[in-house]
């Protein structure tokens, strides 16, 4: 399982007993963009900001459990997380281009949303597709290119994608989906 846990030791002031609480992140982020990403919490004006917030580097085809810093404090103080909006910002680490940072991606809303990555003078066709789903009581954010190849056959496909630069050879396993990276669009 890819669930990362954190253990907290709490002492009840009245009973002086040691209590172990296990914290399991409610969010998983999966990267299918074709590039490495930098991900961190994105704050609204009324949110409490954590001075040393963690920046996650998420490699292509990898997943990470995203821990929202305030969640641990809320858990310790026995306050509810319901209704709290957790947003992140995403930077695509493209080797040749400086792409726009995607801001205010909501981890709580089950939805599919497209975020343009190009500068205003560039094409808006290049973008990040953010899909939030629920899987086993966890929110899963799937980040991918907006161009995907679905192989709904029982055969492995080997394809040549021709775009702005050199051709790209893609292998798509049976009954799987493969994103085409931004460079090749």
- For 173-183, the pLDDT digits (tens) are 999 888 777 66
CA dihedral 40→60→108→6, nearest 10 degrees, is -70
Angstrom distances, CA of residue 33 to CA of 6, 30, 123, 126, 183: 28, 9, 18, 11, 11
Q: How would residue 4 be classed by pLDDT, with cut points 50, 70 and 90?
A: very low
Picking from 91, 92, 120, the residue whose alpha carbon sits closest to that of residue 34 is: 92
Q: Percent of the chain having pLDDT more than 90?
A: 32
C-beta of residue 55 within 8 angstroms of C-beta of residue 66 = no
Picking from 119, 18, 25, the residue whose alpha carbon sits closest to that of residue 63 is: 25
Q: pLDDT by residue (tens digit) across 153-165?
A: 999 999 887 766 6
pTM of the predicted model as reported, rounded to 2 decimal places: 0.70
**Residue 52 above 60 pLDDT?**
no
């Amino acid at each position: 399982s890819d669930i990362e846990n954190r253990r907290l030791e709490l002492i009840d002031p009245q009973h002086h007993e040691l209590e172990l609480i296990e914290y399991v992140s409610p969010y998983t982020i999966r990267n299918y963009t074709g590039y490495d990403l930098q991900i961190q919490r994105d704050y609204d004006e009324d949110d409490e900001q954590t001075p040393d917030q963690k920046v996650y580097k998420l490699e292509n085809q990898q997943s990470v459990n995203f821990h929202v810093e305030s969640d641990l404090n809320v858990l310790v103080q026995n306050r509810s997380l319901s209704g709290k909006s957790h947003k992140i910002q995403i930077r695509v680490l493209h080797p040749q281009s400086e792409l726009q940072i995607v801001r205010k991606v909501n981890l709580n809303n089950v939805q599919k949303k497209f975020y343009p990555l190009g500068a205003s003078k560039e094409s808006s066709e290049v973008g990040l597709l953010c899909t939030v789903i629920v899987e086993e009581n966890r929110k899963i954010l799937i980040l991918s290119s907006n161009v995907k190849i679905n192989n709904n056959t029982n055969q492995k496909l080997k394809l040549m994608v021709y775009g702005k630069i050199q051709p790209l050879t893609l292998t798509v396993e049976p009954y799987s989906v493969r994103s085409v990276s931004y460079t090749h669009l």
